[in-house]
Amino acid sequence: MKLWRLPVEPVHLFGLVRSHAEWASVRQATISANIANADTPGFKAKDIEPFAAALDKTRLTMAATRPGHIGVEATALGTSEAGKAESWDITHSGNSVSMDQELAKAAEVQRVYSLDTSIARSFHRMFLTSVRTSG
Amino acid sequence: MIDALAAVSRLAGAGMEAQSARLRIVAENIANARSTGSVEGADPYQRKTILFDARFDDALGAESVKVKGIVTDDSPFLVEHDPGHPAADQDGNVKLPNVNMLVEMADLREASRSYEANLQMIKQARSMISMTIDLLRSS
């Protein structure tokens, strides 16, 4: 039994939880922008790409070799406009923000974020258990 | 680009600002629902409406909202027969503002609902930040 090899795998979990929490925060910001523009004529509701799609993509970032170079944001996730199929209702002015839908999405974000922090906490506790001296 | 959760507060704040401006216009219309002119045949108070516009904010990385402008409603005025009124014309007709109380009340309710939704976003972002900070707490 090679037990010392085990800790390598759970460490990756922290990275996964971190990126998922980051994804949830960006989604929350997108939902917030939709709600702020709930009464703007012609505004199209937006949503970010699903986490699985964001995770699958290999992101090539440009190296900043000089201080003046413009960097590419690591958190820049692809956004998509909600069309007729995705949005629950579209008003006469062409605004596709559905308040119910946005609040439902916000509740979902809250739930997954809570899950992320709980996972991080329980794994942290697990590590502490292995580090602490008994007695 | 600032932190996404900090951006939520800024975006919702912009939304709340826009909605309160809208509430102010509604209050102005209701207050002036019976404001007529003072000279013969003068035009009364004209109903005002507000225009919102989505504007991409580079710092937030999302579309914020701002008040584009306040315009007047050009729909015809109401006319009432009241020969004794100072603003009455030769036929004794007085022009009253084109303010419909029912429309104003509906607008008021909608603005109030949108304001609440924006406030809810701020509350939720705050709770998400607290969850993150709570990770530091020793369990």
Give the Cα separation of A48 and B14 in Å (integer): 21
Number of domains in chain B: 1
Taking the Cβ of residue A80 and every Cβ of chain B, the question of whether any pair is shorter than 8 Å is answered with: no
Looking at this predicted complex, what is its ipTM?
0.84
List, in order, residues 6 or more apart from A19 with CB less than 8 Å away: A54, A55
Residue type, B49: T
Give the nearest chain A residue to B22 (CA atoms): A39
Give the Cα separation of A4 and A40 in Å (integer): 58
In 3D, which of A78, A75, A93, A88 has the Cα closest to residue A47? Answer: A78
Alpha helices in chain A (DSSP H): 8-36, 51-56, 99-131
Dihedral over Cα of B65, B116, A98, B71: its sign: negative
A26–B121: do the CB atoms touch at under 8 Å? no
In 3D, which of A106, A96, A78, A104 has the Cα closest to residue B128? Answer: A106
Q: Looking at CA atoms only, how far is residue B99 from chain A in angstroms?
A: 21
Q: Which of B9, B10, B11 to mutate to test the interface with A (most CBs of A within 10 A)?
A: B11
pLDDT by residue for chain A (135 residues), tens only, comes to 444 444 545 567 788 888 899 899 999 999 999 999 999 998 888 888 888 887 776 555 556 667 666 654 544 566 666 655 677 778 888 888 888 999 999 999 999 999 999 999 988 888 888 888 765
DSSP for A14-34 reads HHHHHHHHHHHHHHHHHHHHH
A33–B63: do the CB atoms touch at under 8 Å? yes
pLDDT of residue A85: 62
Domain that holds residue B129: 2-138
In 3D, which of B10, B4, B131 has the Cα closest to residue A77? Answer: B4
A75–B5: do the CB atoms touch at under 8 Å? no
Taking the Cβ of residue A38 and every Cβ of chain B, the question of whether any pair is shorter than 8 Å is answered with: yes
CA within 13 Å, CB half, B67 = 15
Q: Which long-range contacts (CB under 8 A, 24 or more apart) does A119-126 make?
A: A119/A13, A119/A17, A120/A14, A120/A17, A120/A18, A120/A21, A120/B135, A121/B134, A121/B135, A121/B139, A123/A10, A123/A13, A123/A14, A123/A17, A124/B135, A125/B139, A126/A10
**Span B58-115, pLDDT tens digits:** 888 888 999 999 999 999 999 999 888 888 888 989 999 999 999 999 999 999 999 9
pLDDT of residue B69: 93
Q: Looking at CA atoms only, how far is residue B9 from chain A in angstroms?
A: 8
